[in-house]
Amino acid sequence: MTEAELRQELCAQGAALAAQGHARGGSGNISARLASGGFLISPSGYALGSLQPDDLSLCDDAGTHRSGAPPSKELPLHLALYRSRPQTGAIVHLHTPHATAWSMVDGIDPDNALPAVTPYAVMRLGAVALLPFAVPGDPVLGDWISGRALRHSAFLLANHGSVVAARTLKDAAFAAEELEETARLCLILRTIPHHGLTPDQVEAIETHYGDRFR
């Protein structure tokens, strides 16, 4: 995509996420890498549902703001994923209710925070990591992600929300939606006898699909 096309696509995906109730008010942020270097990111204080192409912040590969409105305070999250996962083309960070609620459940495995209940969660998310609580915008979140991004493309932030990285903007948006839906299923199933995917079934899905979506 050209920069102009990517700006349009970022706004369209932001509007779609907001229309589904995944980005209320000014919550959440979204970014995408430019083929020419650097990346575009939603600006601080702007609602994803009403973004315009000229609103987007342009940052270089070092995270330095080059043009547009000031970038989201969660810039360190995005920068850490772009640096640590070279295949990453886009990132979505949301404050959706089910993902945020699941991040507060006691006893979650920080290396595999969402049980494997559907094949689509395995395909889109892989093993989801849980990060400890930090004040939103604290650069330590980027540090924590950098240490785990080789093994994970999807993260829960305790008491905060979710972050997903993917190869394309569409795949990042789909992954964010899949994480929220999987968290909703896990909350529904938490007190109901059920069967998730077995380790062999997860392995079969991973062998067939690999990380093509992430």
What residues are annotated to the active site? 74, 120
Residue from 114, 118, 113 nearest 201 by CA? 118
Residue from 129, 151, 128, 126 nearest 209 by CA? 126
> For strand 129-131 and strand 57-59, is the pairing parallel, antiparallel, or unpaired?
unpaired
How far is Cα 192 from Cα 202, in angstroms, rounded to an integer? 21
Strands (DSSP E) along the chain, which ranges? Answer: 29-33, 39-41, 57-59, 65-67, 90-94, 129-131, 154-157, 161-166
